[in-house]
Structure 1
Amino acid sequence: MPIRKEILTRFTIIYWLVFLFAIGVIAKIIHLQFAEGTKWKERAMELSQKEFIIQANRGDILDAEGKTLCSSVPFYEIRMDMMAEGITDDVFIDNLDSLSLYLADFFKNKTKEQYKKEIKHARVRKERYFLIKKNVAFTDFKTIKNFPIFKMGKNRGGFIAIPTYKRVKPFNILASRTIGYVLENESGEKSGYLGIESAYDHELRGIKGLKLMKKIPGNQWMPIHDANEIEPKDGRDVITTIDVILQDVAETSLMKQLTESNADWGCVVLMEVSTGDIKAMANLQRDSLGRYGEYFNHAIGSSVDPGSIFKLPSLIVALEDGYVDLDSIIDTENGVKMYYNKPMRDSHKGGYGRISVQKVFEKSSNVGVSKIITRYYESQPQRFIDRLYSMRLNMPLGLEIPGEAKPVIVGPKNKFWSGLTLPWMSVGYSIQITPLQILAFYNAIANNGIMVKPRFVKAIQEHGKVIKTFDPEILHPSICSKQTVQKARKMLEGVVERGTATNLKNDHIKIAGKTGTAQIANDKEGYGNAGNRTYRASFCGYFPAENPKYTCIVMINNPRGKVFYGGSLSGPVFEEIAELVYAKSLDIHAPCTTKYYLAKSEMPDVKNGNKDYLKTACKKLKFKMVDDNENAEWVNIITEPSKIICQSTNTSRKNIVPSVIGMGLSDAVYLLEQKGLKVCVKGRGTIAEQYPEPGMEVNKNDTIKLSLI
């Protein structure tokens, strides 16, 4: 009995424990359902559904003529919803074979049987987001969406196409660094990096959208077609100042010179004088494999010793202060001048003796320029520096494009100033300035003293309509007096006429500019010895000299060939660009003075052909035209001294060869191909013979042989 009682007691305890536990579970369920139900439903929704950002289609970057420099090209991820309402069992079974065959023939990455097996398994598993193919181009996407089942559409055929956009540059490396790049962060957001992509990212990127997606097996997210989805707004297009034709010439010419000289890097900038528009900017650098590419924007980011091209601002300072004039005589001695036991040498051995300031500049005499500056500014170096500062040479240009290096021109209070600083600064050493900054200075001389800011973008457009324009910006209204500007231009013209750049003198276009050959300092050996020196060759100038329209700078760093002078190495690149601009730009040609006389001969020969085109030409040229059949589309022509007579020709009869004799090739081909005939052509000019002959019967796809003379 005691044992039975003990068993009952234990059973009762267990019963009540289970009962109390059940009550607790029920209470918790009720609490969760009613007290915290909303909270946990929202939590479950957060884990199973999520808002994803839809990136807007980034705007295009266009050249000045509207050609695409950079664009967002769509690529698609193709998926299939196996449970779409239109894919019934009958539809699926009837179309599975053909869909598998289409996919296998199109992508050629799997066999028909492999596609069939995978799609069938996906159907059994009731997959709502089955992957077909990634990275599908837009043209391929248009084809695929017409495949069996897919052509039923998104809702009925389960065809899901998820677009992504990749940045593409149709002209490859042309202006690549100037255009910039687009980077994508961990969250998938894209933003501009470097160049125009970065400077105008706020215009290009558009406004992102949002879409709701739910989590499905396989840790994948599938879009939910929700009414609250926010569509993205496409970015705006940026119209640059770059001319892709001039950019191509600049890059090709620079590439050729760099390759021949085996140089480290080089850059070219072409700028429009009055507006500051950058028409071309090429930056090429050699990699470890000896290949050249746009890896760094040296034109705006490399602050270097400019060398002799800085002699222009040095002499402008002395001219502006009235210490010298172009005909002032300077003794260059034997081509060597000692400054604190350090020799300053001219490239011409033996020197030039006593010569004018004009010739000092034309021959690029280091001794001559340094003697002028030290004579008048050694006791007042701050005056020289202040003059340079007043011409804005110590300030960055404030470019929208990131990466501009700041110019460095130290003054006498700087701890690195010494007795050697002034003479070497006067010839382009002991200072740091970028190629574009020195070009802006030369451009100011070409622009009658007005310094304009280099402009890379001239307008913003949206859906083909310009909504914002950017006017030229003046950085300095007058860097020096008009008289000094004229003297500076005379010196620059003399360099090409009689100085170190006579190789650029030609009959087509007059060039003005300055050569520069700077030694490059080495961290360990300084400027090195005579057999171990490296150089930077430059030419900076403008054209046409008499009425400047464009300025240009060419800089080539560390050429390894026998030629390293600026006039011989950088000058030819400058000249090639100038020749193309001259040929391309009618506004820089001198007005034609040749007298033209109107011909008083008979009517010109006119080919048979389309009457509407002929009527337009006659109206434009004010020729009298007589038409015997207003409804005729094709006519034969008879020309008389005072009029052109149109005789209708019958081209409408089916399976009959029309006459195309006397027509031009384009009209003849159009007419014959309209009738379903193939054309074989021999010769050029006007149709003289045809076979089969006019009036003969033919069938569709027969070949007509045409002889032209």
Structure 2
Amino acid sequence: MKKSSAKMVLVYLSVVILGLACFLKIVHLIFFQRSLFEGTSAQCLDKTQPDWESNPLADDTTCNCFVVQNDLKPLRGEIYDDRGRLLISNFNVFDITVDGRMLQPKSYRKGQHTIVNDTIYCGGGRNFSRSANPAEIEKLVNELAYAFYQQFKDRFPKKNINYYKKQFRKAIKEMKNAPILQSTLHREKEWITDEDTAFVNKLPLLSQKRKGGLNYTIRTVRINPYGDLARRTLGMYTDNKKFGLEMSQNEILQGEAGAQKYIYVNQARIPLNERIEPVDGFNIHTTLNLEIQNVVHNELLKILIEENAEWGCAVVMETKTGEVKAISNLTRTQEGHSVYEESQQNYALTAMVEPGSTFKLASLLAYLERTDNDSIKKYPMMYHTFIRKNKNGKEFRYPKTDGYERREEWGYPIEAFQRSSNVGIAAMIFDTYSIDNYQEYLKKIDSLFITTTFSTQLGMINAPNIKRKAYDFHSYYNACFGTGFKMTPIQTLIYFNAVANDGKMIVPLFVNAVTNKNDTIKKFEAEVIAEQIAKPETIKRARKYLEAVVSGERGTARAYKNKYISFAGKTGTRDIWDETTQSYLKNKNSASFCGYFPADEPKYTAIVFIYNVSRKSTIAVKAFANIAKNVTRLAYLTSLREIPTENKKVTPSSRAIANVDIPFVFQGYGVENQKLTKDSPYVRISYSDNELQQAKSSVLLEKNSPNMIGLTAADAVYELNKLGYVTKIYGRGRVKNQEYNTEKMTAKLYLE
């Protein structure tokens, strides 16, 4: 009994002594080593300070206390279209590394003996000793190399099977850290996705995850589910490539990085309290509309392929608001091939090109501003010899022709304009501003704000490089119809839009709102350059001239006149200047058409510009007319099948249409707005016996069994994104087939 009591006292004293020792150690740490573990001690090297390399501790090999900082990346904001559908979102890709150091033999003591375990655990009951079965190691290397080669050979063609064998030998046999594959961030074809990691996780050894040495580095990339649509305008922001909205709106999208400081003491990693949480970036809502963008992209692509053009661009903007609803910049990828993709250059905003005859609208405005009655005097067309005198009264004769015929005709200004007569337009300007007073003409052009430099949400737009100090006849003559100087297509669009907008000139708008998860942070409206660029009567008369280009008997765009879809505008053709020969190439042209639709009450203003083709401006008119027709067919941005035809009542129908859009569709088609079912957000509608027939569509918005058959690509991607799916689309049109992986939350939509 005494022995038992003595043991209890001994245990009690031991616990007291141990507790006292711990208490004293805590006191010692708090009062004597606190600065060390806070990283403020003179014995600690703080690598977060800008001048840390000059600290003597940086060269002290015995220093075992360091303070470092890890940056915490915020989530980059997303980009949406004008209806809240994702255009650019975040997507995780992976780098794959196998750390062979995790496969090193493990040693432990058992009694007086040290036991070494060099077993490699492959999973599924497959295990073998490293030292006893070297052939199994080589077999495992070959299996993994072959599996990786088969999975990734299309995306990483430069990495053959020998490469994979070398890397896996390095990891498994040499027990070193071996990088296997790395995603190329700016090249979607070389991304390693969730589907790939699911495949890798089933392979022998790697199925053991971290114990098998498998390590994934997650990186966030930007993905555009609609492929090439507006890719140049939406842009990119990586270390190597910065352009488009991703660059110009980077301060809004990028958010604010956070930070976490750590202290390493004797190789122990301890987080410090100085943690700054990252602030995610804001989302931007663009003015782009997916349906209109799709129309513009396809029509531009079609005409470029037909004409084997070098490049082309097209822009559609809302006349009143300045909101850019579509912008496409396509370039030929290789000479002699009809393959086009979104260009790295935003041609619409940056390509300095000779405008050609579209600039005749600027000259027309200058003429009308000083001419009250434009139906009295006729002017020469086709051919005319202009006479100019110098200060001494000596005459200089300048014969000019619109073509090859030397036959002079005379006509009123509206005839000269609709026939796009260079001679006629120049004669009108010379009569109004004098053949000797080029500077007076330039002052008037400047007063119309046509030569203005302005800033957009995508950057600065430079002013036209029109000759300012020229006094010769040819510079003056050429300037009247857009030759001898250069400007961007967007500048032409802006002053055409001012005419369509009753004289009000506004800067194109690409972003209309900034939001976070809950609120609208900021809204944007188009900047007004001038409330009135010319007298209201001048604008009114100018629109009659633009209508005559399409509806007039001799109008250069008359071939595409459409009684159901009216549009107005001006054609433009220019020979391309060759720097080598210092001359214009007669068989290489730029063709353009700029205008608005409908002609009587403009809703959209657009430009089509095609570079390096053998034909003239009618090809641009063709593309413009198709864009106008198809955008009108959208009927409040929905995909209905029919438009008005002669002597036929409109009967709208759709396989799957959003319930909220139907009242607008009926209103636009003059159909009485009837009550609609609310059973589903999407319905099928048709008209029969003067009655609306409606039924619940087959669309299912269920997470585990979605069905998007019949929806447009835009609506399908929007709905799947809300359900949490990462979506890829193939083809154009409506959803015909679909594939889903509910485990990985991925979807593939096949359109037709």
> What's the TM-score once normalised by structure 2's chain length?
0.63
SS in structure 1 of the partner of residue 540 of structure 2 = helix
Q: How does 1:161-310 map to 2 (within 5 A)?
A: 161-184=216-239, 193-210=242-259, 228=274, 230-290=276-336, 291-293=339-341, 294-310=343-359
Q: 1:403 to 1:146 in 2, by over 3 A?
A: farther
More moved, 35-44 vs 532-541: 35-44
* Partner residue, 2:91: 73
Q: 1:664 to 1:396 in 2, by over 3 A?
A: closer
How far the C-alpha of 1:315 sits from its partner, in A, is: 1.4
Change (3 A) 1:263 1:151: closer
Q: Deviations over 1:1-43 (max 9, x none)?
A: xxxxxxxxxxxxxxxxxxxxxxxxxxxxxxxxxx985566676
- 1:336 aligns with 384
**Residue type of the partner of 1:296?**
Q
Deviation, 1:54, is 4.1
In structure 2, the residue matched to 1:4 is: none
* Alignment check: 8 A CA contact 1:444 1:479 kept: yes
8 A contact 1:335–1:348 mirrored in 2: no
More strand by share: 2
* Corresponding residue SS for 1:570: helix
Alignment-mate amino acid for residue 622 of structure 2:
P
Residue 57 (1) aligns with residue 81 (2) = no
Offset of residue 276 of structure 1: 0.8
Q: Does 1:576 align with 2:626?
A: yes
Q: Is the 8 A contact 1:519 1:527 kept in 2?
A: no
Give the whole-Å Cα distance in 1 for the aligned partners of 2:620 and 2:476.
Answer: 27
Measure the CA separation in 1 of the matches of 2:622 and 2:248.
Answer: 33
Contact 1:60–1:204 (CA<8 Å) still a contact in 2?
Answer: yes
- d(CA) in 2 for partners of 1:431 and 1:166? 41
CA contact (8 A) 1:198 1:402 kept: no
1:505: Cα distance to partner? 0.6
Distance 1:352 1:484, change over 3 A: farther
Instruction: Tell me which amino acid in the other structure corresponds to 2:442.
Output: I
Cα RMSD (Å): 4.6
The separation in 1 between residues aligned to 2:215 and 2:448, in whole angstroms, is 62
Distance across 2 between alignment mates of 1:465 and 1:504:
46
- How far off its partner does 1:557 sit? 1.7
Tell me the amino acid that sits aligned with residue 226 of structure 2.
Answer: F
Change (3 A) 1:302 1:431: same
In 2, Cα distance between equivalents of 1:462 and 1:299: 30
Residue 173 of structure 1 aligns to a residue in which SS? coil
Tell me: CA distance 1:533–1:212, structure 2 relative to 1, closer, same or farther (3 Å).
same
> 1:268 touches 1:283 (CA, 8 Å); kept in 2?
yes
Offset from partner CA, 1:382-428 (integer Å, 9 cap, x none): 332121111111112312213633322333xx1x3322222221111
Mapping of residues 489-528 of structure 1, within 5 Å: 489-498=543-552, 499-528=555-584
Aligned pairs for 1:552-631 within 5 A? 552-560=606-614, 564-566=615-617, 568-586=618-636
Which of 471, 490, 495 does residue 436 from structure 1 map onto? 490
Larger Rg: 1
Q: What letter matches 2:570 in structure 1?
A: K
Contact 2:122/2:212 (CA < 8 Å) preserved in 1? no
1:205 and 1:235 in contact (8 A); partners too: yes
DSSP-derived class of the 1:249 partner: helix
1:668-692 CA-to-partner distances (Å, cap 9, x unmatched) read 9x9xx9xxxxxxxxxxxxxxxxxxx
Q: 1:447 aligns with which of 501, 514, 519?
A: 501
1:77: Cα distance to partner? 3.6
> Which of 535, 543, 547 pairs up with 2:601?
547
Partners of 1:380 and 1:361 in 2: how far apart? Answer: 22
Structure 1 residue 292, shift from structure 2 partner: 2.8
How far did residue 500 of structure 1 move?
0.9
**Does structure 1 residue 401 correspond to structure 2 residue 455?**
no
Q: Secondary structure at the match of 1:337?
A: strand
CA apart distance, 1:350: 5.6
After TM superposition, give the deviation of residue 476 of structure 1 in Å: 0.7
CA positional deviation for 1:470: 0.8
Aligned to 2:511: 457
Checking the alignment, whether the CA contact within 8 Å between 1:373 and 1:423 is kept in structure 2 is no
Alpha carbons 1:453, 1:472 under 8 Å: kept: yes
Given that residues 238 and 459 in structure 1 are in contact (C-alpha distance below 8 angstroms), is that contact kept between their aligned partners in structure 2?
yes
Contact 2:102 2:212 in 1 (8 A): no
d(CA) in 2 for partners of 1:667, 1:280: 28
CA distance in 1 between counterparts of 2:319 and 2:308 reads 32
Q: Which amino acid aligns with 1:398?
A: S
Query: % of aligned pairs identical?
Result: 29
Q: Measure how far apart 1:502 and its partner are.
A: 0.6
Query: How far, CA to CA, are the matches of 1:296 and 1:353 in structure 2?
Result: 43
Q: Against the structure 1 CA distance between its residues 152 and 511, is the aligned structure 2 distance closer, same or farther, given a 3 Å change threshold?
A: same
Distance 1:75 1:587 in 2: 34
Between 1:305-314 and 1:351-360, the stretch displaced more is: 351-360
**Structure 1 residue 233, shift from structure 2 partner:** 3.0
Q: CA shift at 1:310, angstroms?
A: 0.9
Unaligned ranges ≥5, structure 1: 1-34, 186-191, 216-220, 597-617, 623-662, 674-709
Q: How far, CA to CA, are the matches of 1:144 and 1:222 in structure 2?
A: 32
Q: Secondary structure at the match of 2:378?
A: strand
Separation in structure 2 between the aligned mates of residue 238 and residue 279 of structure 1, nearest angstrom: 15
CA contact 2:44–2:65 (8 Å) conserved in 1:
no
1:461: how far off? 2.1
One-letter identity of the residue aligned with 1:510: S
SS of equivalent residue, structure 2 residue 492: helix
Q: Does 1:357 align with 2:357?
A: no
Contact kept, 8 Å, 2:145 with 2:168, in 1: the verdict is: no
Structure 1 CA distance for aligned equivalents of residues 634 and 624 of structure 2: 15
Structure 2: which 5+ runs fail to align? 1-40, 46-55, 109-115, 127-139, 151-160, 184-191, 388-395, 651-673, 679-694, 706-752
Letter in 2 for 1:232: P
DSSP-derived class of the 1:245 partner: helix
Matched residues in 2 for 1:240 and 1:521: separation? Answer: 36
CA contact (8 A) 1:255 1:284 kept: yes
Contact 1:268/1:554 (8 A) holds in 2: yes
- Cα offsets for 1:563-605 (capped at 9, x unmatched): x221x21001101110111011349999x99999xxxxxxxxx
Q: 1:355: Cα distance to partner?
A: 1.4
**Shift of residue 108 of structure 1?**
6.5
The SS at the match of 1:431 is coil
| Alpha-carbon distance in 2 for matches of 1:137, 1:432 | 46
Structure 1 stretch 246-255 or stretch 340-349: which is displaced more? 340-349
Aligned residues of 1:453 and 1:475 also touching (Cα < 8 A): yes
Q: Is the counterpart of residue 345 in structure 1 residue 394 in structure 2?
A: no
Aligned partners of 1:318 and 1:324 also within 8 Å: no
Any idea what SS the aligned residue of 1:354 has? Answer: strand
Match for residue 383 of structure 1?
440
Q: Deviations over 1:260-297 (max 9, x none)?
A: 22222221111110111111111222344444331322
Change (3 A) 1:258 1:244: same
Q: Distance in 2 between matches of 1:133 and 1:480?
A: 62
Q: CA distance change for structure 1 residues 488 and 46 in 2, over 3 Å: closer, same or farther?
A: farther
Contact 1:79–1:133, Cα closer than 8 Å, also in 2: yes
Q: What SS does the aligned partner of 2:578 have?
A: coil
* 2:481 aligned with 1:410: no
Aligned partner of residue 627 in structure 2, secondary structure: helix
What amino acid is aligned across from residue 123 of structure 2 in structure 1? Answer: D
State the shift of 1:196 in Å.
0.8
Whole-Å Cα distance in 1 between the matches of residues 362 and 698 of structure 2? 60
Q: Give the whole-Å Cα distance in 1 for the aligned partners of 2:311 and 2:147.
A: 45
Structure-2 change in CA distance of 1:587 and 1:140 (3 Å): closer
* TM-score, normalization by structure 1: 0.66
TM-superposition CA deviations, 1:641-669 (whole Å, max 9, x none) = xxxxxxxxxxxxxxxxxxxxxx999699x
